Amino acid sequence: MIVVFGSLNADLVFRVPSLPRPGETVLAPDYTVVAGGKGANQAYAAARAGAPTRMAGCVGDDEFGHVLLSSLSGAGVDTQGVLHRETRTGCAAIAVDAAGENQIAVAAGANQEARAAQVPDDWLTPDTVLVLQMEVPAAENWALIARAKQAGGRVVLNVAPAAPVPPSVLEFVDVLIVNQTEAMVVAEAAGVPETDPIRAIRSLARGFGMTTVVTLGADGAFACVGDEEWEVPPLKISPADTTGAGDAFCGVLAAALDAGLAFTEALRRAGTAGALACTRAGAQTAMADAADIEARLPEAPPVRRATSKRGNRHEA
């Protein structure tokens, strides 16, 4: 069982010829409103990949909130842990350029009121994979992580957006997922003196006894599992919108782990799902289901063991 504790946002997506620079106004011909939020996106991705998934978080009692819940329910996510608050539903303004790159501003809204207590004790068992991000109050994340570990569950923490994580919390994390910027923020806060994201996640993995993954955009991903290091080459695609790629990667990785797949196979599926999410517009609207992932897996390069500072690789 996947339990996702995190954010739900309405995404206002503006397709622009180029991303605005400071002080610049860029005109878009129109905009769309789609379901988003890192927590909801990852729950959606996990459910679409076939995992039984529950979501806990907060929305406002407004039209955006109803749209978000409808989207999750349509994917098969159990939303009984999502509560309505008087605060407005969280909202993100997303500009996407012609190359599919994006620029995002987020108003937290009701996400600020998400509480760990919304996740009942009977949701946290040795069979639970708890998935968290950083768009809800950090203290609530830390409290829920402690409860999950006490119950014997597995914790997947995606430190997005970038924020410090106390070393005492990292001790409880089983799988840490970060992008290159997030890797450096987590490493610095943990007292890891590294200047490169790969070296940072290597040191974090060894220092805290956890699995670490850094996503590398068009270059795929890199993972450390104890003394083993793995490269995840990218599936070749023509990107249209990268908005939900990281969330698709996280949700599908969690789903694959929940299904008991080997970690290298989980990485390959997650990398494929992340790439496929870049081929369509939006976040949840772009996410592949299990059949889509299976269909494209034969095209995905094998995960490769990395040796000698990412050189001299061999396939796994």
pLDDT of residue 227: 87
Give the count of beta carbons closer than 10 Å to the beta carbon of residue 55: 32
Q: How far apart are CA 103 and CA 9, in angstroms?
A: 15
Q: Which residues are catalytic?
A: 247
User: With a cut of 50, which residues of the chain have pLDDT below it?
Assistant: 310-316
pTM exceeding the 0.85 threshold for the entire prediction: yes
- Spatial neighbors of 140 by CB under 8 A, at least 6 apart, are 5, 114, 115, 116
Domain 37-87+112-315, CATH among 3.40.1190.20, 3.30.365.10, 3.40.50.300, 3.90.550.10: 3.40.1190.20
pLDDT of residue 308: 55
Match 């599919």 to its residue by tokens. 100
pLDDT of residue 315: 43
Q: How far apart are CA 113 and CA 90, in angstroms?
A: 11
pLDDT of residue 130: 98
Q: How far apart are CA 144 and CA 142, in angstroms?
A: 5
